[in-house]
Amino acid sequence: MKVIYNNILPPGHFRAINLFGVIFAKRKYGRLASRDLNHEYIHTIQQREMLILFFYLWYVIEWVFKYMRYRNWTRAYYNISFEREAYHMQYDLDYRHHRRFWAWLRYI
């Protein structure tokens, strides 16, 4: 996985963002921990199995529905199924080896 440290992406208080399999990390937070890399790697797997375009489409649509439900940007973000899977499994560094196809569906 390629990690690019910079001062622009991701926006806000996030440490990293995965765009098309490339991780952009805020330089001010230092090197990413293994759990952060694993979290982003889970997103890479999700993107691949949804052929990238459909991942982003689903991500945005789900966020809109969650935002309408919770009326809170942060709460909507943390309740997106892709994020729920990634946050739940980020400490399991072997997860990518035993993860089932479309495992994020269990987190809807």
Query: Domain total for the chain?
Result: 1
**CB under 8 A, 24+ apart: contacts of 93-98:** 93/34, 93/35, 93/38, 95/38, 95/42, 96/38, 96/41, 96/42, 96/45
With respect to residue 107, please indicate whether it lies within any of the assigned structural domains. no
Does 6 reside within a domain?
Answer: yes
Nearest to 102 by CA among 25, 47, 27, 65: 47
pLDDT digits (tens, 9 = 90+) for 56-77: 999 999 999 999 999 999 999 9
This prediction's pTM? 0.94
CA dist., res. 108 & res. 28, Å (int): 33
Residue 23 falls within a domain, yes or no?
Answer: yes
Residues 6 or more apart whose Cβ sits within 8 Å of residue 58 = 50, 82
Query: Which domain covers residue 95, as residue numbers?
Result: 2-102
pLDDT, tens digit (0-9, with 9 covering 90-100), for 5-57: 999 999 988 999 999 999 999 999 999 999 999 999 999 999 999 999 999 99
Q: Is 50 within the bounds of a domain?
A: yes
